[in-house]
Amino acid sequence: MNVTVEVVGEGTHEFDAEGATYADLLSEVGLSPHEVSVMVDGRPVPEDQPVEAEHVKVLRLIKGG
């Protein structure tokens, strides 16, 4: 299954996600599950869940100090 991963503010990527988890998609775009939230249909999903959506939105968490 082809999946479009949109990293908000940074662009989109296309992947073949057959058998992949959301954490696998994050690894493909060079991000850690600790620094982002993965959203499907406006709802967060666990990174260890198998990919079941064709469009995934990744939001970077804000850090400050």
Question: What is the 3-class SS of 4-21, one letter each residue?
Answer: EEEECCCEEEEEECCCCE
Q: Give domain limits for the chain.
A: 2-60
Query: Average pLDDT, stretch 2-11?
Result: 95
Q: pLDDT tens digit string along 27-63?
A: 999 999 999 999 999 999 999 999 999 999 999 987 6
Using alpha carbons only, give the angle 7, 8, 14 rounded to the nearest 5 degrees: 30
E strand map for the chain = 2-7, 11-16, 36-40, 43-44, 55-60
Report d(CA 65, CA 58) in Å as an integer: 23
Query: Average pLDDT, stretch 12-25?
Result: 95
* Choices 3.30.420.240, 3.30.1330.40, 1.10.3720.10, 3.10.20.30: CATH for 2-60: 3.10.20.30
